């Protein structure tokens, strides 16, 4: 698992100096959709933390958001009526698979997903998301550690912005990224949900604010 985060050992401010600011996930904007302008098949599915909106295209999962997120796209008209979602059989099969695995994850029956993913973004964003997918259930890393693993150790803020632009929440586990002092920092689905997701994976937090820290910081594992 690697070494625990030690809040007292990193970036301790000297006399008269303010603590270093924590990087935050970049300001989220509305999802821009698929590069070719197509509208993916979409479906809303219930979870213990509120409904999530799943999107699939070409037999891959391209989006997953809590429906009240600022960047969650609206459901296409066909998906809000009694008729089935538009899209091909492969898209419907991926939505079925994603929905089933998501519900099993929340029940504690799964710790990983094997749904085919296709997160659309810039090459840099995709490099960050690929590394995010390597952070396993029960582990957390800081933005600085993530930047180092991406190969851009000095680009912590740019990495944080890429984390904030993640279009496939939970399946690409951006909730496992915390501040160097264990603080929650940010999450597109809201810090209440981030706290609950981390608690589900064994990491209790004392509050739901950006600066809330892990209850037992000496035991928080890093995936290095």
Containing 34, the helix (H) or strand (E) segment is: none
> Is-contact 166 27, C-beta < 8 A?
no
- d(Cα 79, Cα 99) in Å, to the nearest integer? 15
Annotation marks residue 57 as catalytic = no
> Is-contact 139 224, C-beta < 8 A?
no
> Is-contact 4 41, C-beta < 8 A?
no
- Torsion angles phi and psi, residue 6, rounded to 5: -115, 100
| Nearest Cα residue to 188 out of 223, 206, 221, 162 | 162
Beta bridge partners of 53: 44, 65
- d(Cα 69, Cα 85) in Å, to the nearest integer? 21
Catalytic option among 41, 72, 174, 198? 174
- Torsion angles phi and psi, residue 203, rounded to 5: -120, 95
- d(Cα 204, Cα 32) in Å, to the nearest integer? 34
Residues with catalytic roles: 174
């Amino acid at each position: 698992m690697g070494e625990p985060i030690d809040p007292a050992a990193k970036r301790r401010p000297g006399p008269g100096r303010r603590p270093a600011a924590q990087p935050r996930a970049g300001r989220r904007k509305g999802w821009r959709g698929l590069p070719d302008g197509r509208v993916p098949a979409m479906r809303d599915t219930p979870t213990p933390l509120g409904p999530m909106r799943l999107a699939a295209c070409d037999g891959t999962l391209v989006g997953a958001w809590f429906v009240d997120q600022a960047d969650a796209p609206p459901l296409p008209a066909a998906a809000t009526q009694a008729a089935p979602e538009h899209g091909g059989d492969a898209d419907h099969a991926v939505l079925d698979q994603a929905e089933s695995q998501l519900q099993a994850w929340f029940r504690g029956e799964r710790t990983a997903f094997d749904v085919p993913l296709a997160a659309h973004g810039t090459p840099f964003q995709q490099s960050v998301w690929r590394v995010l997918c390597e952070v396993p259930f029960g582990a957390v890393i800081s933005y600085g550690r993530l930047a180092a693993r991406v190969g851009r150790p000095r680009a912590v803020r740019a990495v944080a912005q890429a984390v904030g632009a993640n279009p496939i929440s939970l399946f690409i586990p951006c909730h496992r990224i915390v501040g160097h002092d264990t603080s929650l920092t940010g999450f597109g689905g809201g810090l209440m949900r981030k706290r609950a997701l981390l608690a589900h994976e064994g990491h209790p937090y004392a509050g739901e604010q950006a600066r809330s820290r892990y209850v037992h910081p000496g035991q928080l594992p890093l995936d290095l």
